[in-house]
Amino acid sequence: MTGAGAAIGFWKTLGLLLQASRTRAKGRQRRQQQLLNNRGATNWSPFALLLAIGFSAFLHGMAAFALISAVEAGQRLDVVYTGHIIVSDDFYRRVQTVEGITNLGPNYTSIALESYFEAEAQDIAERDGGQKADVERKLRSAVARSGSQDLVTREDASPGISQVVGSGPSSAMLGSLMLVWWFAMIVCQGEGLELDLQRRRHPIWEWLLSHPVSAGAVFFAEMLSPLAANPVYWTAPLYVGILYGAAHGLLSGLLAVFLLGIPVAIAAACVGKACEVGAILRLPARSRGAVIGILSWFGFASLLGMFFLPRIIDRAVFALGNWAEMADRLPWPFLRLFLGLAPDGTFSFLRGMLLCWGLSAFLIATSIVFCARSIRRGLSGAFASDVLAVVQAPTGKFGRAPLFRKEYLWFLRDRSAIVQTILIPVTIAGFQLFNLRGFLEHAGDSWNYLCGVAIFFGTYFLWILGPKSLASEGPALWIALTWPRGLEAVLKAKAWLWSMIATGLVLLILLWACWAFPYEIAKIALVAVGWSFFARSMAEKAVTLVTVTSESGEPQKISSGRRWAAQLGMLTFAIGICTQQWHLAIVGIVYSWVTAAAMWENFRARLPYLFDPWSEELPPPPTLMHAMVAISILVECASLITALVYVVGGTASLGVAQSLGYALAATGVSIGVASFLARRGVTLSQILTWPSLSSGLPLFRSVFAAGRGEARWLLLGAGGGLVLGVFAHFYMEIIQFIPSVAETVQASRRHMASIPGMVVGYAVMAIAFAPIAEEYLFRGLLFRALDRHWGGWKAVLASGAFFAIYHPVIAWLPVMLLGVSNCLIFKKSKRLVPAMLLHMAYNAVVVLWT
């Protein structure tokens, strides 16, 4: 500095701006972690940089290993094209040994190896794909026909990248594709993962307008900013060194790291920066965020893909064998040129170095020219502008309903919507799938694992899509407050749209499952039907997490309580599918629907006060959330008390333990909930009567019938319970014609008979305590809240289904009929006691008539 306001030197400017890019990268990493985890970023300093460098080095090592694996898979595919079968070294030696001993021809060789065919076919099917029976049949035929002549060991079939010139076209094609993919991946890395597309990005020429610095230094620093900010570029030369070392020795690999890898990394960084600058200065405002987001998404998705490819490359290549054969007809010289290989198979390090230098220089020069022209246009004010064209209104449901048309026009108006609503949730869901990669390794082994992965992906997609999509619209979302139908209708429409988007993605995986497991199409179709119900409830839970966006564009933080409430039962459906427990999948669907209704009830009360949270009013108790929490506490406390009594008294006390545990839990939870509601102005008589009945009656008159007209409901409840109990008894007798059900029922009866006092204890629990506590919770609280929220038969059926899932699977049908009957008699009689009598009579018949 020679004086105030004087420009500083070139190199000092360069150093300051590169340091600023590092600081900017750290802030971006903290922001991305907040978006990925929805909580405060973890401070890993001072080890964060070391961890990032180590992770990036491991990434490039896996990418190089993926390319080498792809080349070897291509070499094996070329061998298969010649009619040979690739087998293990052990099987090949056994075939040759038997041939040398018998010397009686291939037929006797096949008989002598009878015990080894099945195991070898199993290994080939698991490694390369295909049906085990088909592989075994082909292997037997080849050995019977020509012994070991049509067999090739895995090592001989894939000599490796050092022999790529002598190999067939498949290895050159796959190696070239992997090389181009890696380069595109590091080009799209930029300065780091970009998820927050709502924040303004500052183009490089703004430095010139606000600082007295050299234009050349600013330009040079901005071109190199990805190298300064992202450790992926620091370790990129390792990729080149590993490939050269695998192809032609350790010394060549070490030289390639410095002489070839560094120019390639610089070229990739410049190309990535050119794409970013071009998007900012040459594209319309509504498109630039989409382009930047797509580039960042591709870089991150490719990064994750490098970890999975070595494990699946063989199955993928052999599954696409016919398509690969068609692509082989095209020239694929990239890998050979990159490695400096001549057509005669000779290697020249100098040839490869000169090629990399020339290509890197060309890419760097092209990127600089492109950026310079873009900057001149930016400095002259020649920005790309949006042209608002008149869009014809869509037909069908989107055209008739203004709420759905609003969402359609949002996609047309803001091209970054596709990034916010699909790519970002897919990226984050993919990040979580990567964390569960140990589980995913077996996803392709069975239809239920693959369907479970689809459900898990769709569930997490919706979980992320809700808050991210709402935040992406920013203040524009709240324009809907002026609509005649209000924001609630808009958010319902969004939930429907999100469920459709997620369903489309899930169906792609389910179609893949149908193709991989054609004999399980019926079961996969049932999964699709179940998902259609589950997805809507999951979307409605996600939409309740909406928060107000501040003037600075920052959404308010979602409270931990609401986030945990939305997670209740979130993975139950996926776990049920993975384990083929259909009853657990149904439990997940029912539980998710009731949870969505509970959250929406609270959300509807909070919605008018989003801009005025200190004036917020809670919904009138009892709410659905009160009922669900009380029911969960009842189940957990009963299990805990039962376990404690069982530990003290042993197996002989199990009957007393269950009876005592449930009795104490039912009494305690009922008294606790009644006390909790009383403090909020809800008396016991108000819970035991329907809302339309006068709450001014004394407790006894509000609970029990006061005259002959009301007494008939008590008789109807007792009689209805007897009828339903008889139906349940004969239902259990009929379903025992199913062998598996009969075995389960008989085992349960033998177990109860073997424990002293078990039947008596269970009868006391089922007749004296369960009806009172369960009617109080499931009808007095849960059904009352559902009827207020949904009304009609939907509330009745939902309450009955939710009541049924807390009982054994074989009893779901009669228990649901019991729950539906109790809902109807409670609503018609205006009192809960008839429902309790119905429940007692039902349980008495079921328990005592054995």
- 635 with 749, same domain: the answer is yes
> Are residues 283 and 97 in contact, defined by beta-carbon separation less than 8 angstroms?
no
pLDDT for 509 beyond 50: yes
The answer to whether residue 5 is domain-embedded is no
Phi, psi torsion values for 384, nearest 5 degrees: -70, 140
Burial state string for 177-211 with b = 16 or more CB within 10 A and e = fewer than 16: bbbebbbbbbbbbbbbbbbbbbeeeebbbebeeee
Q: For 496, how many CA atoms within 13 A lie in the half-sphere containing its CB?
A: 14
- 172 with 156, same domain: the answer is no
Residue linked to tokens 């609270």: 602
Nearest Cα to 770, choosing from 799, 803, 814?
Answer: 803
The answer to whether residue 42 is domain-embedded is no
The answer to whether residue 716 is domain-embedded is yes
- Model confidence band, residue 751 (pLDDT cutoffs 50, 70, 90): low
- 148 with 187, same domain: the answer is no
Tell me how crowded residue 393 is: count the other CB atoms within 10 A of its CB: 12
The pair of three-digit structure tokens given for residue 235, joined into one six-digit string: 């370790």
Query: pLDDT by residue (tens digit) across 35-58?
Result: 554 444 444 455 667 887 888 899
Q: Give the domain-ending residue among 328, 351, 379.
A: 379
- Residue 194 has a pLDDT of 56
- Rounded average pLDDT over 599-608: 80
Give the whole-angstrom CA distance, residue 59 versus residue 232.
Answer: 8
The pair of three-digit structure tokens given for residue 166, joined into one six-digit string: 């002598």
What pTM does this model have? 0.65
Task: Select the more confidently predicted residue: 158 or 290.
Answer: 158
pLDDT for 831 beyond 70: yes
Residue linked to tokens 């792609």: 508
* Surface-to-core class of residue 588, CB atoms within 10 Å of its CB (0-12 exposed, 13-18 middle, 19+ buried): buried
Question: What domain count does the chain have?
Answer: 4
Query: pLDDT by residue (tens digit) across 752-806?
Result: 677 666 677 778 888 888 888 889 989 988 898 888 888 888 889 989 998 888 8
What does the chain come to in residues? Answer: 850
Query: pLDDT by residue (tens digit) across 365-405?
Result: 998 888 877 777 666 555 555 554 444 555 555 556 666 76
- 701 with 829, same domain: the answer is yes
Phi, psi torsion values for 151, nearest 5 degrees: -105, 145
Lowest mean pLDDT among 56-65, 239-248, 258-267, 412-421: 412-421
- 428 with 551, same domain: the answer is yes
> Are residues 687 and 678 in contact, defined by beta-carbon separation less than 8 angstroms?
no
- 304 with 351, same domain: the answer is yes
As a whole-number percent, the residues of the chain with pLDDT over 90 amount to 12
How far, in whole angstroms, is CA 117 from its chain's centroid? 40
- 451 with 575, same domain: the answer is yes
The answer to whether residue 615 is domain-embedded is no
- Model confidence band, residue 359 (pLDDT cutoffs 50, 70, 90): very high
CA angle 234, 235, 239 (to 5 degrees): 140
- 86 with 24, same domain: the answer is no
- 300 with 445, same domain: the answer is no
- Residue 38 has a pLDDT of 45
Q: What is the mean pLDDT of the chain?
A: 76
The pair of three-digit structure tokens given for residue 6, joined into one six-digit string: 């004087």
- Rounded average pLDDT over 653-676: 76
- 414 with 283, same domain: the answer is no
Q: Give the domain-ending residue among 143, 162, 181.
A: 162
The alpha-carbon radius of gyration of the chain (Å, integer) is 34
Give the whole-angstrom CA distance, residue 403 versus residue 10.
Answer: 56
Phi, psi torsion values for 153, nearest 5 degrees: -70, 155
- 728 with 714, same domain: the answer is yes
The answer to whether residue 719 is domain-embedded is yes
Query: pLDDT by residue (tens digit) across 136-147?
Result: 888 888 887 777
pLDDT for 108 beyond 60: no
Residue linked to tokens 């984050």: 428
Structural domain for 279, as ranges? 10-36+49-60+166-379
- Rounded average pLDDT over 8-27: 73
- 55 with 83, same domain: the answer is no
Nearest Cα to 571, choosing from 555, 554, 588, 586?
Answer: 588
Give the whole-angstrom CA distance, residue 280 versus residue 201.
Answer: 8
* Highest mean pLDDT out of 426-435, 444-453, 546-555: 444-453
- Residue 4 has a pLDDT of 47
> Are residues 693 and 831 in contact, defined by beta-carbon separation less than 8 angstroms?
yes
Give the whole-angstrom CA distance, residue 77 versus residue 84.
Answer: 10
Task: Select the more confidently predicted residue: 338 or 320.
Answer: 338
The answer to whether residue 758 is domain-embedded is yes
The pair of three-digit structure tokens given for residue 142, joined into one six-digit string: 């080849």
The answer to whether residue 310 is domain-embedded is yes
Q: Give the domain-ending residue among 96, 129, 162.
A: 162
- Residue 808 has a pLDDT of 80
Residue 655 zone, left/alpha/beta (φ > 0; ψ -120 to 50; rest): alpha
Query: pLDDT by residue (tens digit) across 702-748?
Result: 555 544 556 788 889 889 999 999 999 899 888 888 777 777 777 77
- Rounded average pLDDT over 477-493: 66
Give residue 142's identity as a one-letter amino acid code.
A
pLDDT for 641 beyond 90: no
* Highest mean pLDDT out of 227-241, 691-705, 728-742: 227-241
The answer to whether residue 388 is domain-embedded is no
